[in-house]
Structure 1
Amino acid sequence: MAGQVSFSIESPTGSHTLSVAYERAGAGEPLLLLHGIGHHWQAWQPVMSALAAERDVIAVDLPGFGRSAGLPDGFAYDLSTVVPVLGSLCEALGVERPHVAGNSLGGLLALKLGRAKLVRSVTALSPAGFWTEGERRYAFGTLRGMRYGARALPLPVIERLAGTSAGRAALTSTIYARPGWRSPESVVAETLALREATGFAATLSAGRSVLFTDDVPDIPVTIAWGSRDRLLPRRQGVRAKQAIPGARLVRLPGCGHVPMNDDPALVARVILDTSS
């Protein structure tokens, strides 16, 4: 069920209305899904049916991405702003302390929601924020390059590339270990989502000073990392475990940075085990 919800967020200048798009399916305990920078909720499509068989799954387009409106003028795309916005989103959807799973930026947000006690459990897939400065610069430079390519290529060229396995690899092999498994339609849609993401530049800018060093106590936490992650190397998972000693650290063999596409059954099981 596709939907859009509007709710109020507060700032020193007053109350503002924000609209967020989402996809909701299934029944059971609520599970919030958060995508990475430049992506959209459809990143979770490969695991949606498996998760919805056991959970009330809510996959959202983060503010400024996908079909969600950008944050109002004067609102930063930093963690101290976006985490409370996600808390308000859950209230607007009638969901209290959901489980949460996030990938990359979404994984970082999921951990921050856990730290704020706004969720019941956290599954973070290749979460941002456990990098060295050199690793961060490499990741941000790669993301800027992907964004530049998405904006420079005319739509007919994107469609033509997406129609072949080699073309899909050229467009998405940075984030998928098995880009040929993506459908042409999905690759076109996510390339356009990256091109049109109004929150991309501000989110990347806000991330320059991010380093996650806090524990996330008292709730189940799983950190999962793809063995073939080309954007955030898997050694960052060891640092995540050091910061969050109670977390379960899981290796995702053969998976890239966005592992839901590369091994849907494994990723769904990791999320369901954490949220059980």
Structure 2
Amino acid sequence: MDAEPRTVEVCGLRIGYRRAGRGKPLLLLHGGFSDSREWRPQLDGLADELDVIAMDCLGCGVSADAPPGFALAEYADIAAGFLRALGLESAHVGGISFGSLYALVLYRHHPEAVRSLVLAGAYAGWAGSLAAEEVARRIAWAEGALTRPADEWGPDFLATVYSDPSPELFAEAMEILRDVRPGGFTPVARTFWQADVRDVLPTIQVRTLLINGEQDARATLPVTRQLQSRIPDATLAVVPGAGHGVNGEAPLAFNTAVQVFLSRVPG
């Protein structure tokens, strides 16, 4: 990865990010238990055509921890303020898994900052897309995982994220998991875990691309099709053979879908 981590101050907080390329700005928001390194295949593969900006969420990567009591609206303020700190009033916004929810939260509170949406392995929040018992199961598992070393739970977790990862992808993903800061990420996760943003979906007035791995075991195709049915101008790209971490497992197909989509979106 050529893009080295940088930082900028937003609302008095340090925000880490990686950036590569030029062209239309594309803000990328990573998944849970992760950071901006998750977007390496896009920082490497889309930089010829796009200004790719991968942000570390608060509590992740080199970003500061969130202040106590931070609410969803304040996380949206951070993302919008981050763009302004880079001299951008708006950007195309992509997110995967947890990051897809973050993108929808950003749209809810700062629609003017979002030119289009690219949502991969997406949820309208766990509570907005999954049965209540499944939400409870995932929260209980995650709370437990955050108290233990990543090597104890990481391989089983990644088996639900990827369909057939290369050794290099698996090793990189484990490295990112080992760097998770439980004290930083747990408050963020608890704020987002119970979120239900289904009410936002019919209000979306920008073009939206949904990308799903055909073998996604976490945000299954029926979940994604529910989102597609509720977002007015949404299209769906299904990547054969890929799992939940489709951007890393099938980067060529993912990047091509993003390029084709953004070539048709003004700005």
Q: Which residue number corresponds to residue 190 of structure 1?
A: 176
Paired letter, 2:29: L
Paired letter, 1:36: G
Once the two structures are superposed, the pairs formed by residues 149-188 of structure 1 within 5 Å of their partners are 149-151=148-150, 153=152, 169-170=155-156, 172-183=158-169, 185-188=171-174
Distance, in Å, in 2 between the alignment partners of 1:27 and 1:64 is: 28
Q: Which residue number corresponds to residue 135 of structure 2?
A: 136
Residues 119 and 83 (structure 1 numbering): CA distance in 2 closer, same or farther, change over 3 Å? same
Distance, in Å, in 2 between the alignment partners of 1:222 and 1:114 is: 14
2:19–2:51: 8 Å Cα contact kept in structure 1? yes
Distance, in Å, in 1 between the alignment partners of 2:151 and 2:145 is: 10
Distance, in Å, in 2 between the alignment partners of 1:89 and 1:172 is: 30
1:26–1:52: 8 Å Cα contact kept in structure 2? yes
Q: Percent identity?
A: 27
Aligned with 2:50 (options 42, 52, 55): 55
Q: Which residue number corresponds to residue 95 of structure 1?
A: 88
- Residue-by-residue CA offset, 1:206-242 (whole Å, 9 max, x unaligned): 2343112122432111122222222232211122123
Q: Following TM superposition, by how much is the alpha carbon of 1:43 offset from its aligned partner in structure 2, in angstroms?
A: 0.7
Q: Following TM superposition, by how much is the alpha carbon of 1:197 offset from its aligned partner in structure 2, in angstroms?
A: 4.2
Distance, in Å, in 1 between the alignment partners of 2:214 and 2:144 is: 23
Residues 193 and 231 (structure 1 numbering): CA distance in 2 closer, same or farther, change over 3 Å? farther
1:47–1:265: 8 Å Cα contact kept in structure 2? no
1:182–1:261: 8 Å Cα contact kept in structure 2? no
Distance, in Å, in 2 between the alignment partners of 1:229 and 1:135 is: 16
Q: Following TM superposition, by how much is the alpha carbon of 1:171 offset from its aligned partner in structure 2, in angstroms?
A: 5.9
Give the secondary-structure state (helix, strand or coil) at the position aligned to 1:36: coil
Q: Following TM superposition, by how much is the alpha carbon of 1:66 offset from its aligned partner in structure 2, in angstroms?
A: 1.3
2:17–2:56: 8 Å Cα contact kept in structure 1? yes
Q: Which residue number corresponds to residue 199 of structure 1?
A: 184
2:169–2:249: 8 Å Cα contact kept in structure 1? no
Q: Which residue number corresponds to residue 261 of structure 1?
A: 248
2:147–2:182: 8 Å Cα contact kept in structure 1? no
Give the secondary-structure state (helix, strand or coil) at the position aligned to 1:4: strand
Matched, 1:223 2:210: yes
Q: Following TM superposition, by how much is the alpha carbon of 1:53 offset from its aligned partner in structure 2, in angstroms?
A: 1.1
- Residue-by-residue CA offset, 1:126-176 (whole Å, 9 max, x unaligned): 1232222233223334434544453575xxxx9xxxxxxxxx854621211
Distance, in Å, in 1 between the alignment partners of 2:185 and 2:218 is: 17
2:121–2:211: 8 Å Cα contact kept in structure 1? yes
Q: Which residue number corresponds to residue 98 of structure 2?
A: 105
1:38–1:200: 8 Å Cα contact kept in structure 2? yes
Distance, in Å, in 1 between the alignment partners of 2:192 and 2:107 is: 19
- Greater shift, 125-134 or 138-147, is seen at 138-147
Paired letter, 2:262: S
1:26–1:53: 8 Å Cα contact kept in structure 2? yes
Count of equivalent residues? 252
Once the two structures are superposed, the pairs formed by residues 241-260 of structure 1 within 5 Å of their partners are 241-260=228-247
Aligned with 1:121 (options 116, 139, 144): 116
Which stretches in structure 2 are left out of the alignment for 5+ residues?
none
TM-score (norm 1): 0.82
Q: Following TM superposition, by how much is the alpha carbon of 1:275 offset from its aligned partner in structure 2, in angstroms?
A: 2.4
Distance, in Å, in 1 between the alignment partners of 2:122 and 2:230 is: 13
Which stretches in structure 1 are left out of the alignment for 5+ residues?
9-16, 159-167
Q: Following TM superposition, by how much is the alpha carbon of 1:198 offset from its aligned partner in structure 2, in angstroms?
A: 3.2
Please report the RMSD computed on the Cα atoms of aligned residues, expressed in angstroms: 2.3
TM-score (norm 2): 0.85
1:30–1:57: 8 Å Cα contact kept in structure 2? yes
